[in-house]
Structure 1
Amino acid sequence: ADEAGLAGLRPDGRPRTVLVAGSGPDAAAVADLLTALGSATCPVQALAPTGPSPERSRWTLPGWAGSLDLLVLISPHGTEQGLTDLVEQAYRRGCSAVAVTPAKAPLADAVGQVRGLALPFAAAGPGATALDPATDPGADTGAFWALLAPLLALADRLGLVTAPAAELHALADTLDETAARCGPAIATYSNPAKTLAAELADALPLLWSQGPIAAACARRFAAVLGTRTGRPALSAELPAALTLHGPLQAGTHALTADPDDFFRDRVEDPEGLRLRIVLLQEAPDRPGSAAPAAREQAYAHDTPLSEVAAPGGSDLHIAADILALTDFAAVYLAVASTERP
């Protein structure tokens, strides 16, 4: 990002609105997390694509978008014609454009032609190319961070979030620490990601979150579970989740036989829908938290419950800890799914 000229950027105040466009679920997740980290200092809006197919997606700027707004385009490929066309729209409206995409990609060239800023997308390794998680189960979940990190540096320059270079280096250390704690070499009994994956096997996760950052992480986890494992998941914020998912817990479809009952007739009494609550918190229970009520409702309906809570730190560190752990859990679930006969 520094090599692309970000260090020399001298913005004249904050943009009125940051508009985020990109293909795949990462665009919405990036916009969601930037909104949570920015604490409403500047509205961040994801632009929803239209079109007959994902390969032919098109994006349109809102009618009010203009010179006071910033368009952010994210793409690990940089070949989407719809995003290139969106750069032209932004130029005609006088809207500034920034892209995170591979260098020399068509999207980077288009942004350069309108005097925008192209921040490089760093692939996983030399010669590596980004895979689409919707079509390739081997897609790298780390691509999300390769897209987000340059935008965090940009947001810091614009005054939207606090993410100086030292904070970003500390963020990388947090991700490394989580990888060491949740990596494949660590046994399940001391590996929180493997434990969570085992608990979610053959279950429908209800992702209940406490706090805006945890909520963004929950929605990202639900998207990753869908794209990486083919498993559905429902996310909701507390305390609304208690009423939103309460009928689902109490419904007849949730009253299935105990899967641990050795003497259960597997033919006459097959397994049905098993719910499992995953409570994601930015920190352990604080005064006024709805977490105790969530545990009480889970206990009342005999719904198993798993908990994911960050150990503390800055908002960026909290997001990194939760996102990395849940990404590892999704990968382990995907591996377990492909290994089944």
Structure 2
Amino acid sequence: MLDESLLDTPEALAEADRRALLRGAAEAGARVRTAVRHAAEAGINGLKPDGRPRAVLIAGPGAAATHASDLLGTLAGAGSPVIRLAPTGVAPAAGALRWELPGWAGSVDLLLIATPDGTEPSLSHLADQAYRRGCTVVAVAPTRTPLAEAVAGAHGLFLPMATAPYDQDEPLAASAPGVLWALLTPLLALLDRVGLLSAPPEALEKVADRLDHIAERCGPAIATYSNPAKTLAAELADALPLVWTEGTSAGPAGRRFAAALAELAGVPAVVAELPEALAAHSALLAGPLAAGADPEDFFRDRVEEPPALHARVVLLRDRPISSLTAAPAARDLALSHDTPISELEPEEGDELETLAELIAITDFAAVYLAVASRS
């Protein structure tokens, strides 16, 4: 259960945060700036590509690579398909995972490798395989790793991952806030140069500023009543989150939130995009998960008996209220089944800024649930 009193005790939160998740969330803006600097030092700004690749292939372990692929595909649109190469293997360990290029991959395609580890033998083999096929290879990983050597041998471009000293204390969670931005930022800078999306240095600086702003609003020292991340974490205690998204950028943010809840906090969640979510989850809201489904709950002993699991809708939007929206119908459906609803909508800004804000607030919320529930 969530210890809500812990949320407003910064010292206790810091002591309970043994995986440095809060620090990672707070330093997301700094990670972006460091990653931009590393990318510039690696020569990103001087690249002169001959044209767009036919397809962009992304390989890497865990949630960070999955979300990077999802985000890049959303931002790139239909210009070139962004395809994640899912690994196979008998275990999620670095030595057990296997990646293979699709048979059609060749000289007109771009292979991106993103990993917070860099010791995966199969990723090194993949870089060599791509080189023999004529694919351009770009990798983001920690320096002085086998993958860095393999990419150099494949005449590819290696972009050092922005790391922090405490990253080496214990294995990084794939959904940890710092990992995503350390891997995603160099790839944004690269694909901006390729012409697949717009992420010039000034746009990435705005992303870093927005992440810093959210860290100030959602930090441990900010009380729950004025902290959107702590408020959301408290609302999701003992609830099954139904994450509904509306707008292009909100989709990957919602999928990342569900993954972070599962990996960091052990909280299951289901995700769907509006308006399809209204049909996809209507049976969930009409069933035993609805807040009003158990009339005996009113008489439950609040001390001795744990609360029943009930659904709570989390609506993530990146559209202004004035545009065509299914949000009113979503609210009506939730409230008609006595299901509470939490809403997040970013402040004005470009697509990267609003996406960063949604990710940052939900990352903080997942971290607070993880830390305050495990103390």
Given the alignment, which residue of 47, 56, 77 partners 1:18? 56
- The answer to whether the aligner puts 1:141 opposite 2:181 as a matched pair is no
How far residue 258 of structure 1 moved from its aligned partner, in angstroms, is 7.0
Alignment of 1:1-341 (within 5 A): 1-55=39-93, 56-125=96-165, 128=168, 131-133=171-173, 140-254=176-290, 255-257=292-294, 261=298, 263-265=299-301, 271-339=307-375
How far residue 240 of structure 1 moved from its aligned partner, in angstroms, is 0.6
How far, CA to CA, are the matches of 2:357 and 2:368 in structure 1? 17
* Structure 2 counterpart SS, 1:98: strand
Given residue 71 of structure 1, which amino acid in structure 2 is its aligned partner? Answer: L
User: Residues 259, 236 of structure 1: CA spacing in aligned structure 2 closer, same or farther, 3 A cutoff?
Assistant: farther
User: Residues 74, 321 of structure 1: CA spacing in aligned structure 2 closer, same or farther, 3 A cutoff?
Assistant: same
Given residue 280 of structure 1, which amino acid in structure 2 is its aligned partner? Answer: L
The aligned counterpart of 2:10 is none
User: Residues 258, 102 of structure 1: CA spacing in aligned structure 2 closer, same or farther, 3 A cutoff?
Assistant: farther
**Structure 1, unaligned runs of 5 or more:** none
User: Residues 6, 312 of structure 1: CA spacing in aligned structure 2 closer, same or farther, 3 A cutoff?
Assistant: same
TM-score, structure 2 as length reference:
0.85
Greater RCO (Cα-Cα under 8 Å, separation 6 or more): 2
TM-superposition CA deviations, 1:168-202 (whole Å, max 9, x none):
11111110000001000001110000000000011
How far residue 45 of structure 1 moved from its aligned partner, in angstroms, is 0.7
Given residue 3 of structure 1, which amino acid in structure 2 is its aligned partner? Answer: E
How far, CA to CA, are the matches of 1:332 and 1:266 in structure 2? 23
How far residue 132 of structure 1 moved from its aligned partner, in angstroms, is 3.0
Deviates more, 1:200-209 or 1:84-93: 84-93
How far, CA to CA, are the matches of 2:192 and 2:65 in structure 1? 19
8 Å CA contact 1:204–1:276 kept in 2: the answer is yes
User: Residues 153, 298 of structure 1: CA spacing in aligned structure 2 closer, same or farther, 3 A cutoff?
Assistant: same
How far, CA to CA, are the matches of 1:323 and 1:259 in structure 2? 37
How far, CA to CA, are the matches of 1:127 and 1:324 in structure 2? 19
TM-score, structure 1 as length reference:
0.93
How far residue 144 of structure 1 moved from its aligned partner, in angstroms, is 0.7
**Structure 2, unaligned runs of 5 or more:** 1-38
How far residue 257 of structure 1 moved from its aligned partner, in angstroms, is 3.7
How far, CA to CA, are the matches of 2:167 and 2:335 in structure 1? 50
* Structure 1 counterpart SS, 2:188: helix
Given residue 223 of structure 2, which amino acid in structure 1 is its aligned partner? Answer: A
* Structure 2 counterpart SS, 1:252: coil
Q: Which has the higher helix share?
A: 2
Calculate the aligned-residue CA RMSD, in Å: 2.0
